[in-house]
Amino acid sequence: SFAQPPGGGGGGPQGGPPEAALEACEGMSEGESCSFSDDRMGDITGVCFVPQEDILACAPEDMVRGEGGQGGGPR
């Protein structure tokens, strides 16, 4: 699942990634570079990955790599 910032609460569907993270990867593919700004997490630069089935979201690259090898394939 998508790691939540301190203080809890994600803004996305079913407690998933923030809406801005989803919007940052609209029309993109998994592994593409992305960036967005979030009130809680600040400016984020990372890659698009699939945290949940049928959802593509932007996350910091180190977070994606920490997902046990899921997502974040070769750039």
> According to the model, what pLDDT value does residue 54 have?
86
> According to the model, what pLDDT value does residue 64 have?
80
Can you point out the beta strands (E) in the chain?
33-38, 42-52, 55-60
Looking from the CA of 47 toward its CB, the CA atoms found within 13 Å total 18
Q: Which residue has the higher pLDDT, 72 or 41?
A: 41
Looking from the CA of 36 toward its CB, the CA atoms found within 13 Å total 21
User: pLDDT tens digit string along 47-70?
Assistant: 999 988 889 999 998 888 775 444
pLDDT at 6 > cutoff 80: no
Strand partners, 1: none
CA distances from 60 to 17, 20, 28 (A): 12, 13, 16
pLDDT classification of 14: cutoffs 50, 70, 90: low
pLDDT at 5 > cutoff 50: no
